[in-house]
Amino acid sequence: MGYVEEVFAKVKEKNASEPEFLQAVEEVLDTIRPVVEKNEELYRKEALLERLTEPERQIKFRVPWVDDKGQVQVNTGYRIQFNSAIGPYKGGLRFHPSVYVGIVKFLGFEQIFKNSLTGLPIGGGKGGSDFDPKGKSDREVMAFCQSFMTELSKYIGQDEDVPAGDIGVGGREIGYLFGQYKRIKTSYEGVLTGKGLTYGGSLARTEATGYGVLFLTEELLKCNGKDIKDKTVAVSGSGNVAIYAIQKAQQLGAKPVTCSDSTGWIYDPEGIDVELLKEVKEVKRARLTEYAAKRSSAEYHEGKGVWSVKADIALPCATQNELLIDDAKALVANGVIAVVEGANMPTSLDATKYLQENGVLFVPGKASNAGGVATSALEMTQNSERLSWSFEEVESKLKSIMVNIYHNIDDAAKRYGMEGNYVAGANIAGFEKVAEAMLAQGVC
Ligand code: NDP
Ligand code: 2IT
């Protein structure tokens, strides 16, 4: 048995009840095989892949809080500090009822390679809770965040581990978390990113993930002899990533016609009205039915369905495993040119393979959604400098980072004879830097 197979068999046995983590590991190990085979003896002796797939530290804690009726509620909190070879742990916090250790581990594992691809000095980590912010009052969200941070504050710091947002964690939650950290530690430091602009946040961090997806998509199409202008775009999700992906797509002359949330989806052939979408989702925190009620060109449908719409470009920006094999078939049948992931692991392994085999340009989230964490690292730099940069400066750095990521993953795929396989390119380019740093630092 080859070293890759040997390690994957062990990882499967050890993490049998964590399918999302196994999916993420399988995709990475499978595609870095040519690099591993070139260095098999050394990597095996150093147990490099065993170390790479075992988090440095996993923290799980109780989060008790009091709801508006005076009832005590109890949630579970997690922080997984996966790999610090190239920098302090960095990665978001997800608040969603589906969160359990397997979700946090898959996200933390992906984050190692994503953060490496940004070219900035950040290691991989992720955290969150099974807390559901939906329908909670601001006071309940604050009570939860304060309790969550009371425990988490023991394990994080600006040079140690720097969390940020993810699903269910936006500006409001980061504010409450930051306030509680400061209170407990008596330290005003850049311990979280995605902060508000009045207390150390970076301009363009809110927009960064979605904008980054589009900067990469623009370069991808350009380098494949195509133009983003006038392309029809199908987007899923209607949160932070989806909203700013839609906005930048419009700025680049494309036409996004869909968005979705966990209950339904919108088809708006005139193009999504991004200001209305922001009002419904960011301000009112309401359902997409409110968008449809205010926009005569929009159709609202219950359930899932954005991938059934005819589009040139598909941007899955909601959650993991939301684009499955039948969706991939529908997209190909409708002539899709490119699928670029805004979410983390939204496309299943078989759907990815189908898209690649049918000539669709496919870019995995760890490359295409890296603009969010990259801009978080720029926020860390600004906090260390005690300075803040203009929107234009941050956006222009973000654009260069995304263009570089595209060329790095494209080159890595070419170096190993897999031109156009951006999944392999992203995993290889991300892995090479982390592997070298781990080997240089000895057994740790
Ligand atoms: P938000 O919470 O802002 O938005 C999430 C969106 O996805 C909402 O529209 C939500 O609908 C929908 N959604 C979430 N879970 C499900 C589900 N199980 N089924 C159907 N729809 C769902 O999160 P973000 O936009 O920040 O994150 C979206 C994706 O992007 C995630 O995969 C995240 O990991 C990834 N990502 C985020 C980055 C960031 O900077 N924020 C950076 C890189 C990646 P509803 O409101 O109804 O739940
Ligand atoms: O998945 C991700 O990259 C994020 N949720 C952003 C992490 C960060 O630290 O900005």
Which positions are annotated as active-site residues?
Answer: 126
- The Cα 306–Cα 237 span in angstroms is 10
Indicate the burial class of 357 (C-beta count within 10 angstroms; 0-12, 13-18, 19 or more): exposed
Q: Is residue 161 lining ligand 2, measured as CB closer than 6 Å?
A: no
Question: Is residue 28 within a helix (H) or strand (E), and if so which, with residue range?
Answer: helix 19-31
Give the three-state DSSP class for 170: coil
Q: Which two tokens stand for residue 33?
A: 């095989």
Buried b (16+ CB within 10 A) or exposed e, 212-251: bbbbbbbbbbeeeebebeebbbbbbbbbbbbbbbbbbbbe
Which residue owns the Cα nearest ligand 2 atom 9?
Answer: 91
- The Cα 149–Cα 371 span in angstroms is 26
- The Cα 205–Cα 171 span in angstroms is 10
Res 1 pLDDT > 90? no
Taking the CA of 375 as reference, the closest ligand is 2
Question: Please, which residues have CB within 8 angstroms of residue 204's CB and are 6 or more apart in sequence?
Answer: 211, 375, 391, 394, 395, 398
Taking the CA of 304 as reference, the closest ligand is 1
First-to-last CA distance in the chain? 26
- The Cα 352–Cα 404 span in angstroms is 23
Q: In the structure, which protein residues have their CB atom closer than 6 angstroms to any atom of ligand 1?
A: 165-168, 170, 209, 237-242, 261-263, 317-319, 342-344, 369, 372
User: CA nearest 326: which of 344, 357, 347?
Assistant: 347
Mutate which of 376, 394, 405 for ligand 2? The one with the most ligand atoms within 8 Å of its CB, which is 376
Whole-prediction pTM value? Answer: 0.98
Residue type, 92: G
pLDDT tens profile 179-236? 999 999 999 999 999 999 999 999 999 999 999 999 999 999 999 999 999 999 999 9
The answer to whether the beta carbons of residues 63 and 74 sit under 8 Å apart is: yes
Which residue owns the Cα nearest ligand 1 atom 27?
Answer: 167
Q: Is residue 169 lining ligand 2, measured as CB closer than 6 Å?
A: no
Cα 70 to middle of ligand 2, angstroms: 34
CA-287 nearest atom, ligand 1: 47
Backbone angles phi, psi at 240, to 5 degrees: -55, -50
Cα 281 to middle of ligand 2, angstroms: 20
CA-376 nearest atom, ligand 2: 10
Res 115 pLDDT > 90? yes
pLDDT tens profile 359-409? 999 999 999 999 999 999 999 999 999 999 999 999 999 999 999 999 999
CA-114 nearest atom, ligand 2: 3
Which residue owns the Cα nearest ligand 2 atom 4?
Answer: 92
Cα 300 to middle of ligand 1, angstroms: 19
Taking the CA of 374 as reference, the closest ligand is 2
Cα 171 to middle of ligand 2, angstroms: 13
Please provide the DSSP assignment of 308-320 as one string: GS--SEEEE-S-T
pLDDT tens profile 46-67? 999 999 999 999 999 999 999 9
Cα 103 to middle of ligand 2, angstroms: 14
pLDDT tens profile 324-352? 999 999 999 999 999 999 999 999 999 99
The answer to whether the beta carbons of residues 357 and 325 sit under 8 Å apart is: no
Question: Please, which residues have CB within 8 angstroms of residue 107's CB and are 6 or more apart in sequence?
Answer: 91, 92, 94, 126, 166, 344
pLDDT tens profile 130-189? 999 999 999 999 999 999 999 999 999 999 999 999 999 999 999 999 999 999 999 999
Give 267's DSSP letter: E
The answer to whether the beta carbons of residues 87 and 159 sit under 8 Å apart is: no
Q: How many CA atoms are closer than 13 Å to the CA of 187, on its beta-carbon side?
A: 13
Confidence band for 25, pLDDT divided at 50, 70 and 90: very high
Q: Which residue has the tokens 């209170």?
A: 183
Distances (CA, A) of 66 to 137, 139, 140, 145, 271: 12, 10, 7, 11, 43
Q: What is the mean pLDDT of the chain?
A: 98
CA-373 nearest atom, ligand 2: 10
Cα 249 to middle of ligand 1, angstroms: 18
- The Cα 336–Cα 358 span in angstroms is 10
Give Dmax over CA atoms of the chain in angstroms.
64
Q: Is residue 342 lining ligand 2, measured as CB closer than 6 Å?
A: no
Distances (CA, A) of 371 to 28, 365, 429: 20, 10, 16
What is residue 432's predicted lDDT score, i.e. its pLDDT? 98
Taking the CA of 110 as reference, the closest ligand is 2
Question: Please, which residues have CB within 8 angstroms of residue 262's CB and are 6 or more apart in sequence?
Answer: 318
Cα 129 to middle of ligand 2, angstroms: 15
